[in-house]
Structure 1
Amino acid sequence: MALRCDLIIRDATLIDGTGAPRRRGDIGVKGDRIAAIGDLSGMSADREVMAEGHVVAPGFIDAHTHDDQAVLCGPACMLCKTSQGVTTVVVGNCGISLSPVPMAERPPAPLDSVAELSFWNFDSFAAYAERLRTEPSAVNTLALIGHMSLRVGAMGRELDRPATDKEAERMRKQLAQSLAEGAAGLSTGLFYPPSKHAPTDEVIAVAEALREHKGLYVTHMRDEADHVLDSIEETLKIGEAVGAPVIISHHKCAQPENHGRSVQTLPLIEEYAAKYPVAFDMYPYTASSTSLAARKPRPDVPVTVATSVPHPEMAGRELKDIAAEWGVGLEEAAQRLLPAGAVFHNMSEEDVRRIMSHRLSMIGSDGGPLAKHPHPRLWGTFPRVLGLYSRELGLFDLETAVHKMTGRTAQVFGIEDRGVLKEGAFADLVLFDAGTVRDRATFTEPKQPADGIVETWVNGQSVYTHAAGASDTPAGRLLQRAA
């Protein structure tokens, strides 16, 4: 008796996520797994989708997000991701995680940009994990623990100094417990004020918990501008000291005076990668986005306000225009807008392309889902790579583009049976039109779903169609890293 599937996608161009050449065929799904691939003309299914040559690929894995709150807010809250074909998100980046430290008052920036105060109520990673299990998202979630969050828990608001040995030990124990409960690793944000006074030795002392639990070390480095090379050296020193694989977050060379320095940073990373597990993620834009307080404004770096607590009406406006309207300088205008988030146009296209095309790169959006006027990467990252950089600019072929969003990311993060099309793998899938897929989100209109993403499935369930938008299907799961 022939196998009957729940879903068969027929006559598809199959790009399997490994970087291997595309092939034409069918793919069958039963339950939450891929049941068969190839010529399935002898099989039937409860639902059959005629792909007509459109691409079926593994669902995209967003290597770097701040979706910590968004994944707790119901399936519809993840439309910004499912409409791009994203089926798994990595949360807890840049040293910021909703667990294991509850907050009784608004936390310091940039922690305040990731979640509203009512969501800072998880006193353990187990509590956060249980919430995800009982109220699933539309997408799968892999979670990191943030050093910045641990620091606030151990040190309160006295963050402008190194931690004592006792405080570092408290952080290490909390991290160890979180890893035992299913967290995938430690993230740091050494660039930001709550963590910038943490010396390398403090980070190593906390990160020692990674050794026993085989966790990852993921970092927004101390400096992505003038001292970017020193920061790479520090990052690798920390990873090697505790025996943890290293992931450099949103690798860039920031500020005009550092444009072009990827010709220095990439060989240095390559040198380490030859002897140690090292990877990096990046996003396909020349503008970054973070707390407005994170960088001193300067005339040669245009800044757009993403959100402002005291002046929400200023979201989407240029800082220089606000300053002129108020009759003050850039710094004074920025101070008046705080707490606030902003978009900084501080990178070069040449560096973006060089970093993206490097063999060690992965794709991550680093979007801000709470921002009133977010960076367009929240809605546009993955179709932008497929449409602009692969199809239009020819930076790399489509198989390579998909690999950087799927199989490569799954391998780096230790996500088993996802990121590839193979029999027995989980049915996280995206169907897209390779000829029309493109980002529509812009800096002026950032909340725009992409063109060309036909349908997205998570664990075998449809969570998005271009025709109908997001479904209310809570198909996502909490994932754990395979050591």
Structure 2
Amino acid sequence: MTGATTTNNSSPDTGNGDSTCDTLISNVSLIDGSGAAPFAADVLILNGRILRIAAVGALDGWQATQKIDGHGRVLSPGFIDVHTHDDTNVIRQPEMFPKLSQGVTTVIVGNCGISAAPVSLKGAPPDPMNLLGDTNAFNYPTFASYVAAVNQAQPSLNVAALVGHTALRNNHMDRLDRAASDDEINAMCLQLSEALAHGALGLSTGLAYDNAISAPTSEVMALAAPLAAAGGIYATHLRSEFADILEAMEEAFQIGKHARVPVMISHLKCAGVDNWGRSGEVLAALEQAQRYQPVGCDCYPYTASSSTLDLKQVTDTIDIQVTWSAPHPAMGGKMLATIAAEWSVDLLEAARRLQPAGAVYHGMHDDDVNRILSHPATVIGSDGLPNDPLPHPRLWGAFPRVLGYYSREKKLFSLTVAVNKMTGLSAQRFGLIDRGLVREGYWADLVLFDPETIRDAATFTNPMQAAEGIEAVWVNGVLSYCGGAEKRATGKRAGRFLPRVGI
């Protein structure tokens, strides 16, 4: 670790009684995740938890298996990625290097209505469930089986999970281009209740997608009914992020009121050129709803989105980069306009020929992203797609980008506010107990970083690059990543499944 000295030799006992711990991290600027000002501190870790926090030098008498001098570095809670699609990857690729290398210690999966569990496929996974992998990746017919698989895989970071509405529809409906019947809704509710009993955080929807858009508001309201008794939440990829965004937000608020549960709006944005400049009224609608119910949102720090190639979003007003195509894999990495010109067809016909495919849409304005990102209701989620062969750079760089580009360079908000949006506020919104803060007794999910050099290295043309400035990452007290010139995982995977509070 460049700039942070690690020593594995124990220091002499000074006669302070039982003064032995696993790790002593000394001489750091501690940003504790609450939004409070930084302060100089030493931190002790024992048995996976934070044992002591004290003034610099006050813990010099402690023996420690591992000692790290963090001079000039910030120690903060591990970052919580509240919006991911890592559902199957935490099991199939448990090292989770793209997230670990940027300081993420907990991922929340099951967003946008798609989840790996509970799922029973009748064929290939329907769009956009195919973002989570092919048919072989879906091996969890019950939520309990998914929890067991996560714990058996022991990923390098912690996992908490929502249940996807589209996944439930897939399990109980013969086709997804219609509303569910009462019997189908009842079957979905039973399966959701089973998942909640085994620790699911709540329900997510992706109502903009073709396989969920036919679900009326009443279907989602009925399905959300079990959430309140279980203490769950409702997270939603809105029915529209374009011209009808205010109506879509009102639908989300209505569902939350009906179910009496908190609402999280996923990746809040003003998408499409015709929608640019509307973030003020969008945030005003969110603030109005906050007067009557708990409402929040997440946001990723980029002006481009990424998903499957959606024919409804094909337009010549923005750049659209194709990231993969099943029938035409050689087209991955090219702009849709370039492909259309090569084939002598229009954009829509080119997109049809590429199906199924993935795309990056450069469809947002900086001013809107800045306004949403800086709003007090906003927490950070990467929305990265780990199975995309040319992923959006947010998969590798979202959290360092908030700290480096948006906080240090653009001065959109202070470093303490930035950390709070990625740690303490996130844990509060999703009910993660003893996480998100550097507090005595809390789990030692920690990140040591250089505030002067931290930055995202991933780009749209070269997205698989580890961030700069992350010095060390601990997950449940275990040193899991070493930064500096090495940028390597230690091979020690200490993650676990995190059930909802009360489970």
| Class of the TM-score when normalised by the shorter of the 2 chains | over 0.9
What TM-score do you get using the length of structure 2 for normalisation?
Answer: 0.94
Give the Å deviation of 1:59.
0.1
Q: Which amino acid aligns with 1:383?
A: P
Indicate the larger mover: 292-301 or 88-97.
292-301
Q: Which amino acid aligns with 2:87?
A: D
Q: Find 1:315's aligned residue among 332, 337, 360.
A: 332
1:146 aligns with 2:180: no
What does 1:42-61 align with in structure 2 at a 5 Å threshold? 42-61=61-80
Q: Which amino acid aligns with 1:44?
A: Q
Question: Matched residues, percent identical?
Answer: 48
Deviation string 1:183-237 (CA, Å, 9 cap, x unpaired) is: 1100000000110000000001111111221111000010011000001100000
Q: In the alignment, which residue of structure 2 is the partner of 1:15? A: 31
Work out the CA distance in 2 between the residues paired with 1:363 and 1:120.
27
Deviation string 1:394-422 (CA, Å, 9 cap, x unpaired) is: 00110000000000000000001110001
Contact 2:236–2:266, Cα closer than 8 Å, also in 1: yes
Q: Which amino acid aligns with 2:381?
A: G
Work out the CA distance in 2 between the residues paired with 1:451 and 1:234.
41
What does 1:84-233 align with in structure 2 at a 5 Å threshold? 84-156=102-174, 158-233=175-250
Indicate the larger mover: 294-303 or 281-290.
294-303
Q: Which amino acid aligns with 1:134?
A: Q
Indicate the larger mover: 360-369 or 172-181.
172-181
Indicate the larger mover: 268-277 or 440-449.
268-277
1:32 aligns with 2:51: no
Contact 1:146–1:188, Cα closer than 8 Å, also in 2: yes
Alignment partner of 2:310: what SS?
A: helix
Q: In the alignment, which residue of structure 1 is the partner of 2:8? A: none
Indicate the larger mover: 128-137 or 363-372.
128-137
Give the Å deviation of 1:2.
4.4
Structure 2: segments with no counterpart, 5+ residues: 1-16
Alignment partner of 1:257: what SS?
A: helix
Contact 1:103–1:121, Cα closer than 8 Å, also in 2: no
Q: In the alignment, which residue of structure 2 is the partner of 1:353? A: 370
The count of aligned residue pairs is: 481
What TM-score do you get using the length of structure 1 for normalisation?
Answer: 0.98
Contact 1:74–1:136, Cα closer than 8 Å, also in 2: no
1:433 aligns with 2:444: no
Structure 1: segments with no counterpart, 5+ residues: none
Contact 1:68–1:115, Cα closer than 8 Å, also in 2: no
Indicate the larger mover: 56-65 or 272-281.
272-281
Q: In the alignment, which residue of structure 2 is the partner of 1:5? A: 21
Q: In the alignment, which residue of structure 2 is the partner of 1:67? A: 86
Work out the CA distance in 2 between the residues paired with 1:154 and 1:104.
10
Work out the CA distance in 2 between the residues paired with 1:421 and 1:2.
22
Q: Which amino acid aligns with 2:71?
A: E
Contact 1:75–1:473, Cα closer than 8 Å, also in 2: no
Q: Which amino acid aligns with 1:297?
A: V
Alignment partner of 1:353: what SS?
A: helix
Work out the CA distance in 2 between the residues paired with 1:451 and 1:321.
33
1:482 aligns with 2:501: yes
Please provide the CA RMSD for this pair: 1.0
Give the Å deviation of 1:294.
5.4
Alignment partner of 2:421: what SS?
A: helix
Work out the CA distance in 2 between the residues paired with 1:294 and 1:382.
30
Work out the CA distance in 2 between the residues paired with 1:75 and 1:48.
27
